[in-house]
Structure 1
Amino acid sequence: MITRMFMVWFALVLGGLAAHATDKGGAAGSVLSLDDCRAIWNLAAGRSDLGRDQAQPYVPDFAAVDVNGDGKITNAEFRAGCETGLVHKARRAD
């Protein structure tokens, strides 16, 4: 449990540093605003953790966001992913 908390904390710290180094857009690889991150979480997961299928439209690299490797993305992991540019707004169908 402590290791997981440290990993999430570490990801949040790195996310804060990345936020200063990138723009605040919605494109893949850019840092999402907290409001955009919350909106995407509520749309994709609501009150539960995200599985791989639920995360797919928003998280191209599931393993990078699932920092503890348990096969699901928690809200804390998702927020850290938003802050590091690993989560993006769903792409429109062409």
Structure 2
Amino acid sequence: MKLATFTAMAVLLSAGYALAGGGAPVPEGSQAGDPSGRPSAVLDDAACQNLWKMASPDGDTLSGDKAVPYIVNFQMVDTDQDGKISAAEFKTGCGKGWVQSADASTTKEMSPSPKL
């Protein structure tokens, strides 16, 4: 009787373990990359360079107020925490989706007015 009870328990436990399975698979990419809040599209090198020229025509660093139309999260792009975004930080931000293209109205407002 003990053997029958032991065998029945072993079968029930084995079946329960087998039917439980591994659970749902982890979605691809959900565990990869840096947390970036709300990233935008990753920009390629050409788009990033064009955007940098528009954001910083003189090639100097970007302060927070100048970076607003382009940067999703200033603190994440400013990796050295100096309050300015360098060209290298901007390029890294482009690759992580932390830099976004300015919309047409912002671009129009920021472009120099034509000389008459």
Same fold? TM cut 0.5 = yes
Residue identity over aligned pairs, in percent, reads 37
- Structure number with greater CO (CA < 8 Å, separation at least 6) is 1
Gaps of 5+ in 1: 1-16, 19-27
Equivalent pair of 2:51/2:101 in contact (CA under 8 Å): yes
Runs of 4+ with deviation above 4 angstroms? none
Equivalent pair of 2:52/2:90 in contact (CA under 8 Å): yes
Distance 1:60 1:85 in 2: 8
Pairs within 5 Å for 1:44-63: 44-46=55-57, 47-63=59-75
Gaps of 5+ in 2: 1-31, 34-38, 106-116
* Matched pairs, number: 68
TM-score w.r.t. the length of structure 2 is: 0.54
Q: How far apart are 1:91 and its partner, in Å?
A: 2.6
Distance 2:55 2:103 in 1: 14
TM-score w.r.t. the length of structure 1 is: 0.66
Structure with max Cα Rg: 2
